[in-house]
């Protein structure tokens, strides 16, 4: 008897061992792709930034390294005291009404920001390599 499988190819051919076929490969690729995308998002979304960008009236007025403790005073209609400490940035004190900016707490992750509406000041964390923020 000849062992050659039928030429039509439709009949089940006994497989010597389990093999990837095209569908398995596609499924596998899809799963890996999903995992990569998810991982990429997770990886990109919460990185610790490295620069504190201080803007006033939409204009960047200071860029402070997040790993160096510093105090930066923003003067405008009101005054905001921006403090960088232990890799975090926050508004230590302000003369604006409401003090919302002070209450917003400390930020350290890329894309996080604190806004002082009355003084039109915002401080934002930027990362060196992860500048693209996913909305």
Interface with Zn ion (CB under 5 A), residue from 101, 114, 125, 130: 101
Of 16 and 58, CB closest to Zn ion: 58
With residue 70 as reference, give the H or E element that holds it: strand 70-75
Of 116 and 123, CB closest to Zn ion: 116
φ and ψ of 59, to 5 deg: -110, 130
Of 64 and 121, CB closest to Zn ion: 121
Q: C-beta of 59: minimal distance to Zn ion in Å?
A: 17
Burial of 102 (0-12, 13-18, 19+ CB in 10 A): middle
Of 64 and 116, CB closest to Zn ion: 116
Q: C-beta of 125: minimal distance to Zn ion in Å?
A: 18
Q: Of 113-132, which residues contact Zn ion (CB under 5 A)?
A: 116
CA angle 56, 59, 65 (to 5 degrees): 80
Rounded to an integer, what distance in angstroms lies between the CA atom of residue 22 and that of residue 8?
A: 18
Chain residues in the site for Zn ion (CB under 5 A): 94, 96, 101, 116
């Amino acid at each position: 008897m000849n062992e050659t499988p039928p030429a039509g190819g439709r009949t089940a051919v006994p497989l010597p061992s389990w093999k990837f076929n095209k569908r398995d490969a596609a499924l596998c690729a899809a799963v890996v792709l999903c995992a990569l995308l998810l991982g990429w998002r997770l990886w990109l979304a919460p990185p610790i930034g490295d620069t504190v960008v201080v803007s006033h009236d939409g204009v960047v007025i200071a860029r402070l390294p997040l790993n160096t403790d510093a105090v930066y005073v923003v003067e405008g209609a009101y005054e905001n005291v921006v403090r960088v400490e232990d890799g975090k940035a926050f508004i230590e004190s302000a003369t604006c009404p409401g003090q919302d900016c002070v209450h917003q707490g400390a930020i350290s992750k890329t894309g996080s920001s604190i806004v002082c509406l009355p003084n039109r000041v915002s401080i934002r964390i930027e990362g060196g390599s992860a500048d693209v923020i996913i909305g």
